[in-house]
Chain A
Amino acid sequence: MIIQGLKIALESLWTNKMRSFLSMLGIVIGVGAVIAIVSVGTGSTQQVTSRIADLGSNMITIYPRTPRGQWGRVSSSGSQEKFTLELADYMEIFCPSVKTVILVKQISGRLISNEVNMNATIIGTGMDYAQVNNYEVDKGIFIYEDDVRDRRQVIVLGSQLAEDLFEDTDPMGQRIKMNYNGRIYSFDVIGVMKEKGGSMAGNLDDRAYIPLSVAMDRLTTHNYVDSYIAQAYSSDRAATSVKELENFMIKLFDDPDKEYFRIVSQDEILDTVSSVTNTMSIMLGGIAAISLLVGGIGIMNIMLVSVTERTREIGIRKALGAKNKNILYQFLMESLSLSSIGGVIGIGFGWVAAYFLSRYGNWPMVISTISVVLAFGFALFIGIFFGLYPAMKAAQMNPVDALRYE
């Protein structure tokens, strides 16, 4: 009886092609939108996540901080001067989950090559910096232990900076000058880094890297650094490392409110990003689901019109022996067919939309089975739910009245 109802339903949908198409349009758009949006959400999340993972492995950055002043009181001075070289050693000792702590001294100076001169951010650091940042050398080598120990005036250039300073010539082995605080220093270029783009610490490509000792002792006379980068032994221990570092700093600075330092971990960024994208996906998915619901109401509207319009047909069918159930199934199957055909077209539509969006946004195209099943299932549910009332109305018609209907 159900199969027979389906056949009759399909026939009647086919004879009203335009109306059928219009009434399934809402479902097509709804299902398509759900699939496309969920795909965009997961695709972009994957992209962002993998980018964040690229930034470095198990990195935790510790910055000094100056507390806010309150009620017109002058704010107390910051903690920058307490960020000493020795502190890094203590961190390694007191935080067992931390594998290594790297020191970063950031200055800005003017770099002068044969052709051009330009301002750049210069990072004074040690050999582990490249490894912790997942940062690879394109040509030559990165700063090595000896360079730090012997305070060698060597420099490694970020890819963008190398291009800007040495347009056509090979920077390797060249000597460049640096103007820092009105004094001129000369450096030998020993390496050029691969292109990296953004990182936790900003864009690495337009920076230069020099031995930490040179930055601390020759250029500045500071005995403190700008930040520490701690690396946990593994990603499992990253959270523990953050706790250990936090406790260490709180005790060291006697700063229970964490006013004088800030710890930023990769996990934390990852969590923030994924919670943001999740919220976005849920919100957009919700909007798409509402459009599905509206599509369902559209189907109900069309079905109600169709039932009224076909009152006479219902009367004829009943006079010829159709039971209430036959009529119920016929109309239920009609709305179900509308929503399921609409759902199938919507899946195709969403797929195509997701494909073009992923190409446009340059992220991997991910169609999750769950979103397809969920959207299609919801469409079917809507077909039944919103088809039931019109179908019942049709089934319960009195044959005499239905036959008389003009």
Chain B
Amino acid sequence: MSKVMKIEKMTKTYHLGKVKVEALRGVSFEINEGEFVSIMGPSGSGKSTLMHIIGCLDYASEGKYFLAGQDVSKLNDNQLALFRNKKIGFVFQQFNLLPRATNLRNVELPLIYSGVPARERKKIATQALQDVGLSDRISHRPNEISGGQKQRVAIARALVNQPSIILADEPTGNLDSKTGLDILNMIQKLHDEGNTIILVTHEPEIARYARRIIHLKDGLIDSDEVVA
């Protein structure tokens, strides 16, 4: 199996005035294509920082990060934007949909920034919304649909550019347990279809959906184990 990403001795230090905060203190691991990995850890363990770096939203202080065969740690802002656009599909706890845009428009956004022509864009986005079971909510706005539906729009948006990694940050954190279960099943299904998934969570029951769990503690990997 080919590697999708690889992190080597990654550190991240924040300078808050005179205080140095070491959020990551040398983290190394690899993820293969088609894996379903959970990153777990209590708050302050560095998992958000790690997620931001994996998602190309932030730079590491030291260490290397390879994504889809390229050294991301050497890229500039614009190249990082391109990687976020093509290689990463984000699913956030807060959904992060544009409230005033229609669901279709929201799903189209990554396609707009990758320069897909309007007609094709609409076709792909419509198909993606159909795939998550929202064909009847295409022209609704996020405030007109339920939380579970919002997260499904977000998943559709994460998928349209066929990313290398789907990065889900507490995707069920704002949902009741029943709709949370629906979303987890959907993520499970995406994994079954061959997508690489990284699920960031602090809840063990949710982490258990993954096949592999990486525990972070105080900026270091505490454990990295495959779940049966």
Query: B-contacting residues of A (Cβ < 8 Å)?
Result: 4, 8, 11-12, 15, 312-313, 315-326, 398-400, 403
Shortest beta-carbon distance from A310 to chain B in Å: 9
The answer on a CB contact under 8 Å between B96 and A403 is yes
5 shortest interchain CB distances as A-B pairs? A321-B85, A321-B113, A15-B100, A323-B81, A399-B57
17 further A-B pairs in the complex, CB-CB below 8 A; given A319-B90, A321-B161: A4-B112, A8-B112, A11-B101, A315-B96, A316-B96, A316-B98, A317-B113, A319-B84, A319-B96, A320-B85, A321-B81, A321-B114, A323-B77, A323-B113, A398-B58, A400-B52, A403-B96
Shortest beta-carbon distance from A39 to chain B in Å: 40
The answer on a CB contact under 8 Å between B85 and A400 is no
Assembly CA distance A316 to B113 (angstroms): 12
Shortest beta-carbon distance from B86 to chain A in Å: 7
The answer on a CB contact under 8 Å between A320 and B110 is yes
Question: Residue on B with the closest CB to A321?
Answer: B85
Within 8 Å by CB of A319, from B57, B82, B86, B161, lies B57
The answer on a CB contact under 8 Å between A321 and B110 is yes
Residue with the highest number of chain A CB atoms closer than 10 Å, among B57, B101, B161? B57
Q: Answer yes or no: B132 CB below 8 A from chain A CBs.
A: no
Q: Answer yes or no: B152 CB below 8 A from chain A CBs.
A: no
Residue with the highest number of chain B CB atoms closer than 10 Å, among A4, A8, A322, A325? A322
Within 8 Å by CB of B98, from A4, A313, A323, A398, lies A313
Assembly CA distance A268 to B117 (angstroms): 67
Within 8 Å by CB of A321, from B52, B84, B97, B105, lies B84
The answer on a CB contact under 8 Å between B90 and A320 is yes
The answer on a CB contact under 8 Å between B96 and A318 is no
Set of chain A residues within 8 Å of B100, measured between Cβ atoms: 12, 15
Assembly CA distance A326 to B112 (angstroms): 10
Q: Answer yes or no: B138 CB below 8 A from chain A CBs.
A: no
Q: Answer yes or no: B47 CB below 8 A from chain A CBs.
A: no
Question: Residue on A with the closest CB to B49?
Answer: A400
The answer on a CB contact under 8 Å between B112 and A403 is no
Q: Answer yes or no: B78 CB below 8 A from chain A CBs.
A: yes
Shortest beta-carbon distance from A394 to chain B in Å: 14
Q: Answer yes or no: B150 CB below 8 A from chain A CBs.
A: no
Shortest beta-carbon distance from B112 to chain A in Å: 6
- How many inter-chain contacts with C-beta < 8 Å in the A-B complex? 62
Shortest beta-carbon distance from B18 to chain A in Å: 21
In the complex, chain B residues 57-105 whose Cβ is within 8 Å of any chain A Cβ: 57-58, 77-78, 81-82, 84-86, 90, 92, 96-98, 100-101, 105
Assembly CA distance A326 to B110 (angstroms): 12
Assembly CA distance A321 to B157 (angstroms): 12
Shortest beta-carbon distance from B47 to chain A in Å: 14
Question: Residue on B with the closest CB to A326?
Answer: B113
Q: Answer yes or no: B124 CB below 8 A from chain A CBs.
A: no
Set of chain B residues within 8 Å of A319, measured between Cβ atoms: 55, 57, 84, 90, 96
Question: Residue on A with the closest CB to B83?
Answer: A321
Assembly CA distance A315 to B81 (angstroms): 12
The answer on a CB contact under 8 Å between A321 and B57 is no
**What are 15 inter-chain pairs, A to B, with CB distance below 8 A?**
A8-B112, A15-B101, A313-B98, A316-B96, A316-B98, A316-B109, A318-B84, A320-B109, A320-B110, A321-B110, A322-B113, A324-B78, A324-B81, A326-B113, A403-B92
Shortest beta-carbon distance from B172 to chain A in Å: 18
Shortest beta-carbon distance from A40 to chain B in Å: 42
Residue with the highest number of chain A CB atoms closer than 10 Å, among B55, B81, B84, B96? B81
Within 8 Å by CB of A323, from B52, B78, B101, lies B78
Assembly CA distance A15 to B98 (angstroms): 12
Write the B198-221 contact mask toward A (1 if CB under 8 angstroms, else 0). 000000000000000000000000
Residue with the highest number of chain B CB atoms closer than 10 Å, among A4, A8, A323, A324? A323
Set of chain A residues within 8 Å of B112, measured between Cβ atoms: 4, 8
Assembly CA distance A191 to B97 (angstroms): 89
Set of chain B residues within 8 Å of A12, measured between Cβ atoms: 100
Set of chain A residues within 8 Å of B96, measured between Cβ atoms: 312, 315-316, 319, 403
Set of chain A residues within 8 Å of B113, measured between Cβ atoms: 317, 320-323, 326
The answer on a CB contact under 8 Å between A400 and B57 is yes
Assembly CA distance A319 to B58 (angstroms): 11
Q: A15-B100, A312-B96 are in contact. Are A322 and B81 (CB under 8 A)?
A: yes
Q: A399-B57, A403-B57 are in contact. Are A318 and B81 (CB under 8 A)?
A: yes
